[in-house]
Structure 1
Amino acid sequence: MDARIPAHIEVSGFIRAVEAEGGFGTVLNKGERDAGTIMLVLIENGDNARIYERMPQLDGSRVWQCTRRQQTSPDFGESLTMRLAFSDYIETRGRQDPDLWIVELDVAKPERFIGLGV
């Protein structure tokens, strides 16, 4: 049997770790308390948003992978459209999976909190 940390404890740990580093963390969508999956929206100073989700690998492990990046454009209208598409993806994922936790973390170099030294 796969020993897994309950989702609500892992989410709480992410938020506490980020806040201890002077960042901000919040739950955008509360999923299933123990077995829910987690999607992280990582941001640096309110910009450069990207989404990380755990993806199953052939060996049965699950690793964090960037599934979306918020595109920015110098054109305000185009930039707004891109931001809305990014937000729509987050909302759609939340509707598709009622067990999904969606957590936003805004801190410098947020990938370090999921073991990625990007």
Structure 2
Amino acid sequence: MPDQRLPTHIEVSGLIRAVQAAGGFATVLSKGERDAGTIMVICCENGTNASAWERMPQRDGTRAFECARTEDPENKADFFDFWRRRAQQDPDLWVVELDVENATRFVAGDGTVS
């Protein structure tokens, strides 16, 4: 079965536009491979309570977004270091920040962004 995945840059662009249409702010913090890169989504509201979401393999062979890390309000630098290290380790990784009310609603349970 051929891979029918959207090119990453199109998926990221759609995610940014959806957040902007909802009155939020979204930006690319790190660009990865244009067509087949992976995506980390950082969700926050008014710059606080950040959480990093990455696609993880599931038992049924799909890849769903799961929370990989949450920000510790006492040590915000640790969260920043986490996603920077991930971007350095994986040159294909896109890091996208969503700053909007209930940002996690843009990360669907089926592995696609909505």
**Does TM, normalized by the shorter one, top 0.5?**
yes
Distance 2:61 2:17 in 1: 29
- Structure 1 length-normalised TM: 0.88
For 2:51, the equivalent position in structure 1 comes to 50
Secondary structure at the residue paired with 1:5? coil
Amino acid at match of 2:72: Q
Deviations 1:67-100 (A, max 9, x none): 100012xxxxxx2xx2111111011000000000
Distance 2:51 2:107 in 1: 13
Distance 1:57 1:48 in 2: 26
Deviations 1:44-78 (A, max 9, x none): 11111000000011221000100100012xxxxxx
- Aligned residue pair count: 108
For 1:107, the equivalent position in structure 2 comes to 100
- Matches of residues 1-118 of structure 1 in structure 2 within 5 Å? 1-72=2-73, 79=74, 82-115=75-108
Distance 1:3 1:103 in 2: 22
Distance 2:108 2:31 in 1: 23
Percent identity between the two aligned chains: 56
Quick check: which has more Rg, 1 or 2? Answer: 1
Secondary structure at the residue paired with 1:55? strand
Unaligned ranges ≥5, structure 1: 73-78
Q: Which runs of 4+ in 1 moved over 6 A?
A: none
- Structure 2 length-normalised TM: 0.91
Secondary structure at the residue paired with 2:27? strand
